A and B are shown apart, each in its own frame.
Chain A
């Protein structure tokens, strides 16, 4: 079982739609969780951290479910500019320098 798994997509949605991605992780000792965004042919950039209580940043909401070992990202009122690949990242005190990246979920927002 892979340590961090994401549905690769693509998720093709119309502008204004609400879309949600999940990411599952296998290590119950995982400590921190993040969502990154990667535009085509660019480096990944931090989108938001994910907390157990859930957190919101504008149209973006992130949730963590430790019992089921998954994190989620919800995007409301999708914009064309939201088109990108969204990577989840899990950290824990093990190997790989503590960072484990998912392979990403591709989102394409259509007009």
Chain B
């Protein structure tokens, strides 16, 4: 069966610090991978998606970046966090329209 792992579950980081969130998928190959952000009480905002290794599409200009070094690994990064980067970050994979989410990382930038 397919599983998706995302960590850490919670993170508190100071403004200006770097960020690295990792997501891995097991039990499937060549999945579409996504990073979403959800501000408190708001909808899902698509940040990045990837249809293959090294293929990253950015939906929203920001100080975040994403990389896909392996087929089932998706990484979200920032060199310098801003207060506005606080939120609930969700990694997901999809196939045939069905999407499965990791448990999310709740990031608070202080």
Contacts and interface: CB of A to CB of B under 8 A. Distances in A.
Interface string B84-110: 000010100010111111111010000
Interface stretch (B14-22, B44-52, B75-83): B44-52
Contacts of B103: 42-43
A104 B88 CA distance: 16
Contact of B50 (A46, A89, A97, A99): A97
Nearest to B43: A103
A84 B78 CA distance: 31
Nearest to B59: A96
A81 interface: no
Contact of A42 (B32, B46, B57, B104): B104
Interface of A: 31-32, 34, 36, 41-46, 49, 87, 89, 91, 95-99, 101-104
Given A42-B104, A87-B43, A97-B94, 18 more contacts: A32-B96, A32-B97, A34-B98, A34-B99, A41-B106, A44-B99, A49-B97, A87-B44, A96-B49, A97-B57, A98-B94, A98-B97, A99-B34, A99-B94, A101-B44, A101-B46, A103-B44, A104-B44
Which 4 pairs show the lowest CB-CB distances between chains A and B? A103-B43, A97-B49, A32-B97, A43-B101
